[in-house]
Amino acid sequence: MRLRAEDIEPLVIGGALLGGGGGGDPEKGRRFAQVALSLGAPELIPLEALPPKATVVTVALVGAPAAAEQHVEPEDLARSLRLLQETFGVRADAINGNENGGFASLNGWVQSALLGLPIVDAPCNGRAHPTALMGAMGLHRVPGYVSRQAAVGGAGPRRLEVAVAGSVEVASAMVRQAAVQAGGVVAVARNPVDTAYLAAHGAPGALAMARRVGEAMLEAMPAGGEAVWSAAAGVLGGRVVDVGTVLQVRLETSGGFDRGTVTLRGARTWEITVWNEYMTLEGDGDREATFPDLIATLDGRGMPLTSAGLREGMTVAVLTVPQERLLLGAGARDPDLLAAAEAAVGKDLRRHNAG
């Protein structure tokens, strides 16, 4: 399917909701998609359109969404994929996104337009996640797998291009440090796999899900924010737990991540912990949702808000969707990968995911 201008908004809005506080800047998603349409004809295909042994490369943005000095241009997205192919001799047959998000659900459009490769509707994960390991589809557990990654970003003296090969853990850590040096964010191409592996360990159909959510929200917008919140909850099988005022946003960028807490007051006082995405939601001290459950914030019009977009004094709705209702890849389903998130936010996640 050739992607067109009318495809942008449903994917941006539905993707931003499924970003769960992360997933990239929706405005950047819109802008880069429009650039892609001016450069060529990006194409989206279902996974079953590829043969089982076709090679698919994941494309992503890595870094801290709130970083003040981040700089990634549309051409950097294509350059990271070219660098991966030039350095490691990878012959990509198609590309897939790493997650859903306001930017992430449209990542791949520029690469597809410039390089003539189709985007496969099989992201590594159907919701946004903070670490590359969570988006690696369990490759860190494959004996002997060598992760090959290329990263491009930054401006002026911060400009860099990096290609690295190693274990998934080591290569991902190197790319995360590249993001820090580049000012906060880099465009990445990584982890070639065949179609069969992607089908078993990715999240096929996750872009179609984001589009369905976005279409329902757009249809409800003339009726106002409450109708939009309800439409999103209805498609995903979630619920709006409260509507309240943002009392405090405490975020800091360190080590290539945004981390901190958001406090809101509605019928209850809520604390949301943040590690790029929303990790936990507690009302008056009681746990309401835990990653990979989806925790999302929406403004009075019904537009999803990222953690980086929250401001004190805003009135927001808090929506949750249980993980069983989401399309999750192998990385998001791996409880061992929650240990790093626990250390980052100081909350127990694995116990709340047990069983």
Residue 31 belongs to a domain with what CATH number? 3.40.1610.10
What pLDDT shows up at residue 355?
54
Query: Are 28 and 115 in a shared domain?
Result: yes
Query: Are 29 and 143 in a shared domain?
Result: yes
* Domain total of the chain: 2
What pLDDT shows up at residue 67?
77
Query: Are 161 and 230 in a shared domain?
Result: no
Cα separation, 226 vs 77, in Å, equals 37
Is 215 domain-assigned? no
Is 161 domain-assigned? yes
Is 270 domain-assigned? yes
Query: Are 247 and 313 in a shared domain?
Result: yes
Is 338 domain-assigned? yes
Domain endpoint, select from 152, 168, 201? 201
Is 240 domain-assigned? yes
- Residue range of the domain that includes 328: 224-353
Query: Are 247 and 186 in a shared domain?
Result: no
Query: Are 134 and 272 in a shared domain?
Result: no
> Could you tell me which of 280, 264, 223, 320 has the C-alpha nearest to residue 18?
320
Domain endpoint, select from 201, 236, 251? 201
CATH of the domain at 245: 2.40.390
Query: Are 180 and 303 in a shared domain?
Result: no
What pLDDT shows up at residue 68?
77
Query: Are 25 and 87 in a shared domain?
Result: yes
Is 214 domain-assigned? no
Is 323 domain-assigned? yes
Q: What is the pTM of this model?
A: 0.95
Query: Are 173 and 56 in a shared domain?
Result: yes
Query: Are 123 and 191 in a shared domain?
Result: yes
Domain endpoint, select from 167, 201, 235? 201
Cis peptide before 222 (omega within 30 of 0): no
Is 99 domain-assigned? yes
Task: Kindly state the tokens that stand for 185.
Answer: 């964010």
> Average pLDDT for consecutive 10-residue bins of the chain (355 residues)?
97 98 94 97 97 96 82 95 97 97 97 97 97 94 96 96 97 95 95 97 98 98 96 98 97 88 98 97 97 97 94 97 97 94 96 79
Query: Are 308 and 349 in a shared domain?
Result: yes
Query: Are 128 and 232 in a shared domain?
Result: no
